[in-house]
Amino acid sequence: MSNNEILNKIRNLSNKDKRVIKYEELLSMFNKFNEEEIIELSKIIGYPVFIRLCMNEINHKFLLIQDGASAIIINDKGQILLQRRVDNDKWGLPGGCQEIGETFEETVIREVKEETNLDVKKEDLKLITIVSGNARRRQYPNGDVVYNNSALYLIDKYKGDLKCDEESKVLEFFDIDNLPLNQHDEDLVQAYLKTLTN
């Protein structure tokens, strides 16, 4: 099988199957692939998952720092869009981790499209702040402990119809004074709310 055929085979796997690729399989690919093909493999799997797979037996015993971007998406009523997450049943903002070579703007545009089906232009992004530190510590259901440093953007111009992906159960707009209590990204939402009072 050619390297391109291997990459296409992995590209066609479900996200669930990508997360359980065996370490030995990765090693055999690394021995065949050049640098560009390894970068492409990391994009197909998703960089954070790719790193965890490469950790093999020390998985879940290692803290990861991940950079990413999240979006405060506002509708014409001033409501905030939240997604009910599949992994922990909490309400979070659309967003996710940066892939190799991506800018924060490219990350948030990609993640918003993947998670909400909305199209956003770079010129319509408004940087609110960068959120980092202990407030960004997360432990995922599978045991991974990460610090998700996040560029937070305001988006009030977008096109498309809302549609959930496999990471979300529900997408819903909420009034800012009636947000759900079980939030995944409460610190990010609070960072946005602070800008409204300044």
pLDDT in tens, the chain (198 residues): 899 999 999 999 998 899 889 999 999 998 999 999 999 999 899 888 888 888 877 766 667 888 999 999 999 999 999 999 988 899 999 999 999 889 999 999 999 999 999 999 999 999 999 999 888 888 776 677 888 899 999 999 999 999 988 888 999 999 999 999 999 888 999 999 999 887
> Residues 103, 152: one domain?
yes
How many angstroms separate the CA atoms of 160 and 90, rounded? 24
CB 81 within 8 Å of CB 75: yes
pLDDT at position 60: 63
Range of the domain at 54: 3-58
> Residues 89, 124: one domain?
yes
DSSP H helical ranges for the chain: 3-11, 15-18, 23-32, 35-45, 47-55, 104-116, 186-197
> Residues 41, 74: one domain?
no
> Residues 96, 141: one domain?
yes
CB 100 within 8 Å of CB 80: no
Task: For residue 139, list its beta bridge partners.
Answer: 145
> Residues 36, 73: one domain?
no
For 158, the 3-state DSSP assignment is: coil
> Residues 87, 9: one domain?
no
What amino acid is encoded at 150 in this protein?
S
For 35, the 3-state DSSP assignment is: helix
> Residues 74, 48: one domain?
no
> Residues 47, 71: one domain?
no
Structural domains in the chain (count): 2
> Residues 70, 47: one domain?
no
Phi, psi values for residue 151, rounded to 5°? -85, 125
> Residues 35, 133: one domain?
no
> Residues 105, 177: one domain?
yes
Q: How many CB atoms lie within 10 A of CB 194?
A: 11
User: Where do we find the tokens 């409501």?
Assistant: 79
pLDDT at position 61: 66
pLDDT at position 108: 98
pTM of the model: 0.84
